[in-house]
Amino acid sequence: MVSGLGLVNPTPMTDLATQKGGYAADTGLDIHGNIGDPIVSPVDGVLEYAEEGHTAQANQDSDPTTPGFQPQHSFRIRLNKPFSYNGKTVRFIYGTHLATLDKAVANKFDIPIKKGQRLGTMGQANNVPHLHLGLVGDRAQTEFLNFNEVKGALLKNRAVQARSTSPQVPLPAASNASRSNNVVVIPQQQQNQQSGSQIIPIPMNGGSRSQGVDQMSAGVSESDVLNSLWQTLLLTKLSE
């Protein structure tokens, strides 16, 4: 059984599969969206901080659509359950370029955080609205997943969730039809379930013609024309 990494999309308004933001030396994935998009925690853990700063773009306005200067906000979460990906251990989640922080987490330190819990809203940096998300091994970010690995880790978990929640299609039930004296016999209960008609037993492989006539005379054909032709054929054969 394939196990997921326990991650959820930190930007629920975006499609992670289309994200391409980042470069080789970057410490995470830039998830592009719109200013004001909700940002949630991708994991269960401990929120070490959620406050202004902690980014090289601290002097940039995170939301030019709002009058005045809106500072950059960042957060860091210590995972309850660290995991490994491509041989690298991830112990912390780092995010930055939030325009706002929710009151429940703003300027809070070392508090429990739940997967999917709202943290704030997306802002912009370098004139591009996005969330920079880092999956890192240490607080100094000397060990980290590159942007392609972050995307891969997020999508891997999404694929596992999709498989685990896919509706199970039941296999068709075995037919209740049986064969008696080379004649297909449909139980009466199953015949009654047919909408508007019954299925007439048909002689198979040289079965008794008289038995076929007796069973047909008790049923109603799906097609009066075919029934009439079949009866005519049988009576003709019997009269020979």
The answer to whether residue 189 scores a pLDDT higher than 90 is no
The pLDDT value given to residue 221: 46
Indicate whether 198 pLDDT > 70.
Answer: no
- pLDDT above 70: residue 156: yes
Q: Where exactly are the structural domains of the chain?
A: 16-165, 178-239
Nearest to 50 by CA among 39, 63, 59, 60: 39
Segment 111-140, tens digit of pLDDT: 999 999 999 999 999 999 999 999 999 999
Q: What confidence score (pLDDT) does residue 23 get?
A: 86
The Cα–Cα gap between 40 and 46 comes to 14
Record: fold of 16-165: Glucose Permease (Domain IIA) (2.70.70)
pTM above 0.85, yes or no: no
Pseudo-torsion of CA 223, 228, 231, 233, nearest 10°? -110
**DSSP H or E segment with residue 30:** strand 29-32
- When mean pLDDT is compared over 127-131, 197-201, 235-239, the highest value belongs to 127-131
The more confident residue out of 43 and 191 is: 43
- Treating both helix axes as pointing N-terminal to C-terminal, what angle do 209-217 and 224-239 enclose, rounded to 10 degrees? 140
pLDDT value, residue 5: 77
